């Protein structure tokens, strides 16, 4: 089994699909591993560390990918990478499939076997492969660190001989994996933290982290979670009531971090321009949903916008801002998934195509788009 780890070509990508730690394990599985020169540089992993772990360094994309049976990546392969891969190669990456049907078709046309890690079912067996969780956790942490850096005031209450500095008020919108880590991080920094979510189950989790839960808790709210544990799209009436409550709350906050996502749909708009303007100048918003259209009106992808003296942070690829940590966890997620496809006796690739982890994530095979959610859309 030949495994390739190419350099990511997206300008904002710092992460990499394998680390020296996971490469040692891949070699132990019987694989030969080729890493493209400089692939780890955004995660502070020098080529020499990959070599020490047992990988060979390839000078360019063609040399890295040409022979590979398996390609471990962070993002969907670009056109040059697709061209360089052999037909039938397994590519494991985050594929960002929703709304990118043409790109999925291109992978089918290239004859690769593409797996979208973000479609991994959230079942106990697959927890170790859950890239959404491993990356959202770090993104939630980093959002608070970025907010603190932009804030320009101390976060904890400080009582000193020269006077008292009040604790910052931090409001987290969306208490999933990223939001819960943001709550924990802001609490560690000494802030007074509140949080909201449309899922009733989030209330207890928020409170267990020492934050106060803010939500309109009516009948619709009590029914708002899907069987998969994700948020549902809420009614217009609920959205209005919640927006009124949130509007008065936001006006009193120093920092707001938004993390609200609905799988396969644009991010819900939660913070209007008027809400932004109601905050004190010098306050900070961080929009973690900016890549999905944003939760905050006025958020700009890849930029820090200033509206009425309030900063709106719209960094892309938040987990990638701590690339070394993000890669360490992401690479382990990929390794765990690939491990399920390797026959431990023969050390050969032998995927069980009926395994639910595979049927849930497999996008393309044998020149076709095979995933039920995308097959029709691409014809």
Q: 161 to 190, contacts with ligand NAD by CB under 6 A? A: 173-179
Q: Which is nearer to ligand NAD, 208 or 350 (CB)?
A: 208
Q: Which is nearer to ligand NAD, 72 or 136 (CB)?
A: 136
Contact between 333 and ligand NAD by CB under 6 A: the answer reads no
Distance CA 370, CA 372 (A): 6
97 contact partners, CB below 8 Å, separation of at least 6: 104, 116, 118, 119, 363, 371, 373, 374
Binding string, residues 242-281; x marks residues near ligand NAD by CB under 6 A: -----------------xxxxx----x-x-----------
Q: 218 to 247, contacts with ligand NAD by CB under 6 A? A: 229-231, 234
Distance CA 243, CA 250 (A): 10
3-state secondary structure of 216: coil
Contact between 360 and ligand NAD by CB under 6 A: the answer reads no
User: Could you tell me which of 109, 28, 54, 29 has the C-alpha nearest to residue 5?
Assistant: 54
Closest residue (Cβ) to ligand NAD? Answer: 176
CB 1 within 8 A of CB 29: yes
Q: Which is nearer to ligand NAD, 91 or 131 (CB)?
A: 131
CB 83 within 8 A of CB 110: yes
Respond yes or no: is residue 127 known to be catalytic: yes
Contact between 127 and ligand NAD by CB under 6 A: the answer reads yes
Contact between 194 and ligand NAD by CB under 6 A: the answer reads no
Contact between 286 and ligand NAD by CB under 6 A: the answer reads no
Q: Residue 167, exposed/middle/buried by CB under 10 A (0-12, 13-18, 19+)?
A: middle
Contact between 117 and ligand NAD by CB under 6 A: the answer reads no
The two three-digit tokens of residue 312, written as one number: 């709106």
Q: What is the DSSP letter of 105?
A: H
- Any idea which residues carry the catalytic annotation? 122, 127, 130, 133, 230
Residues binding ligand NAD (CB under 6 A):
122, 127, 130, 132-133, 136, 173-179, 196-199, 202, 229-231, 234, 259-263, 268, 270
């Amino acid at each position: 089994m030949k495994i390739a780890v190419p350099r990511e070509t997206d300008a904002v990508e710092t992460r990499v699909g394998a680390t020296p730690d996971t490469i040692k394990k891949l070699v132990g599985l019987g694989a030969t591993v080729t890493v493209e020169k400089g692939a780890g540089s955004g995660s502070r992993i020098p080529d020499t560390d990959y070599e020490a772990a047992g990988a060979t360094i390839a000078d360019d994309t063609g040399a890295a990918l040409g022979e590979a049976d398996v390609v471990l990546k962070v993002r969907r392969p670009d056109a040059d990478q697709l061209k360089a891969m052999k037909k039938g190669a397994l590519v494991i990456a985050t594929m960002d499939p929703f709304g990118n049907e043409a790109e999925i078709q291109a992978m089918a046309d290239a004859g690769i076997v593409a797996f979208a890690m973000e479609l991994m079912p959230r079942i106990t067996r697959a927890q170790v492969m859950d890239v959404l969780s491993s990356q959202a956790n770090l993104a939630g942490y980093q959002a608070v660190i970025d907010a603190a850096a932009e804030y320009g005031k101390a976060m904890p209450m400080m009582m000193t001989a020269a006077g008292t500095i009040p604790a910052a008020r931090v409001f987290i919108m969306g208490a999933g994996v990223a939001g819960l880590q943001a709550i924990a991080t802001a609490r560690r920094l000494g802030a007074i933290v509140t949080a909201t979510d449309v899922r009733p189950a989030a209330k207890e989790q928020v409170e267990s982290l020492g934050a106060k839960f803010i939500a309109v808790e009516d009948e619709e709210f009590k029914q708002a979670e899907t069987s998969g544990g994700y948020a549902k799209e809420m009614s217009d009436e609920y959205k209005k009531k919640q927006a009124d409550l949130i509007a008065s709350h936001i006006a009193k906050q120093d920092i707001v971090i938004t993390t609200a996502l609905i799988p396969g749909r644009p991010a819900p708009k939660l913070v209007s321009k008027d809400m932004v303007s109601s905050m004190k100048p010098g306050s900070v918003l961080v929009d973690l949903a900016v890549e999905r259209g944003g939760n905050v009106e006025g958020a700009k992808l890849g930029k820090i916008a200033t509206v009425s003296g309030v900063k709106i942070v719209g960094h892309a690829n938040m987990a990638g801002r701590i690339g070394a940590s993000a890669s360490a966890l992401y690479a382990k997620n990929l390794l765990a998934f690939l491990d399920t496809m390797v026959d431990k006796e023969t050390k050969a690739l032998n995927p069980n195509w009926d395994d639910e982890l595979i049927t849930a994530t497999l996008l393309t095979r044998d020149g076709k788009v095979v995933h039920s959610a995308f097959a029709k859309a691409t014809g």
